[in-house]
Structure 1
Amino acid sequence: MAFSADELRVLRRALAQALQPSTSPTPPHPEDVHDYLRLADAVDEAARESVRLRTFLFAELVRYRAALPGSATGFLERLNGALDSGYVPLPDDLAALRRLRGGRYDAMLRRCEHLAELAVRARLEARIPAPAGAGGARAAAALRARLYALPGGRCAADLPPRPSRPVPTPGEVFPRRRHPAPPPDPEPEPASPPQPSPPEKPGPPAPEERATG
């Protein structure tokens, strides 16, 4: 971020005002206050513009990486600009550079591998706790120190007396109602014995028997 000559003069006045002894501070001039606010707005706008630019560069990098190998030149330019703005190369970027061949791509691959390794080391160092030195020993001793009662606390006499018998629970005071048991199923009726079939009636005599008679 670069400042103009006028902005640098305003920044110097603001720093001088901030570094004054707190015993006898001099109130700033109204015009100086106006310049301070205008400089703060300009810095905020520049920061927002930087975020928008980085977002655009990263989106362009993803688009050119997806169009490889036809967009190799554009991908290399976007990756270089993203690295200059603080971009940490991703595994997809390293894989894309390994697929490309050439002196420029090999140099960019070495640069990206170095930056990725530094980022991994920084994350690992942030996760590993620092060794306990003299300060850690003092903190542990303070944790093991005896606790003392502070003035204004409550002693045992101020606490309400404990009941002689335990307080009944809501389940004991209001027991659940027992639902009546369902009636038993009716017993099945015995099967009736089979009825005898009626005797068959004799049929009419045959014609031959009638003729002989």
Structure 2
Amino acid sequence: MAFGADELRVLRRALAVALHPAPLPHEDVQDCLRLAEAVDEAAGEAGRLRAFLLADLARYRDALPGSAGGYLELLQDALAAGYDPRPDDLAALRALRHRPVAAALLERCQALAERSVRARLAGRSAPATTPAPRSRLLALPGGRAADAEPERPKAPPAPPRPAAPSERPAPKPSEVFPPRRRPAPPPQERAAG
């Protein structure tokens, strides 16, 4: 997430007030609240994008081997975004390991899966694959009246969960990616003669 010059100015003022509490002008409070809303919106959008990426990855995995190129590309994107590979991913990569990209991804995913298992066995949780929801900035010291009741944060929407494999059979690649139909040639007229 990148901040613009105006957003950095607001963030700098908010940090200065956090370090040296002082009453804030109403305009500064509004700027801080707008920045907090923008950050919340960006975090929500990132969550929606991540859910879409994971759902897309599952669709491509279900359509293997016909969708191998797209699946490998999406898996690389998901891993870059912090995705923890699932057993289905490891099985799919083992089936595709004759491809150099799949072989490299298999090594990477096995290392990530091993690290995750070791972390669970050691009694600590593995790195979270989804960032924890950030609490909203409700008020700054000196920015709102002490007797005003703060807003309550909204609960984040539940992320979409892909269907379990036992609920429906995996589609065939021809069902997911139907063959392209060539246009029919125009009818030729018969010459009279």
TM-score range, shorter chain: 0.5 to 0.7
| SS of alignment partner, residue 126 of structure 1 | coil
Matched, 1:106 2:100: no
Matched, 1:12 2:9: no
For residues 31-72 of structure 1, give each alpha carbon's deviation from its aligned partner in whole angstroms, at most 9, with x where no partner exists.
110100000000100111011011000000000001000100
Higher relative contact order (CA 8 A, sep 6+): 2
Q: Once the 2 structures are TM-superposed, how far is the Cα of residue 119 of structure 1 from its aligned partner?
A: 1.1
Larger radius of gyration: 1
Q: Percent of aligned pairs with the same residue?
A: 65
Q: Structure 1 residues 29 and 80 mapped into 2: Cα distance closer, same or farther (>3 Å)?
A: same
Q: Return the letter of the residue paired with 2:8.
A: L
* Alignment-derived partner of residue 115 in structure 2: 118
For residues 118-169 of structure 1, give each alpha carbon's deviation from its aligned partner in whole angstroms, at most 9, with x where no partner exists.
11112122269xxxxxxxxxxxxxxxxxxxxxxxxxxxxxxxxxxxxxxxxx
Q: Return the letter of the residue paired with 1:10.
A: V
CA distance in 2: counterparts of 1:7 and 1:124, whole angstroms:
43
Question: Aligned runs of 1:15-30 on 2, under 5 Å?
Answer: 15-20=15-20, 25-30=21-26
Structure 2 runs not aligned, ≥5 long: 126-193
Q: Return the letter of the residue paired with 1:73.
A: G
4+ runs deviating over 3 angstroms:
none
CA distance in 1: counterparts of 2:39 and 2:26, whole angstroms:
20
CA distance in 2: counterparts of 1:83 and 1:67, whole angstroms:
20
Q: Structure 1 residues 5 and 127 mapped into 2: Cα distance closer, same or farther (>3 Å)?
A: closer
| SS of alignment partner, residue 68 of structure 1 | coil
CA distance in 2: counterparts of 1:19 and 1:124, whole angstroms:
40
Matched, 1:33 2:33: no
Matched, 1:47 2:32: no
Matched, 1:59 2:55: yes
CA distance in 2: counterparts of 1:46 and 1:103, whole angstroms:
36
Q: Return the letter of the residue paired with 1:104.
A: V
Question: Aligned runs of 1:22-171 on 2, under 5 Å?
Answer: 25-100=21-96, 101-126=98-123
* Alignment-derived partner of residue 174 in structure 2: none
Aligned residues: 124
CA distance in 2: counterparts of 1:95 and 1:102, whole angstroms:
14
* Alignment-derived partner of residue 168 in structure 1: none
Q: Return the letter of the residue paired with 1:78.
A: L
What TM-score, normalized by structure 2, do the two folds share? 0.62
Structure 1 runs not aligned, ≥5 long: 129-213
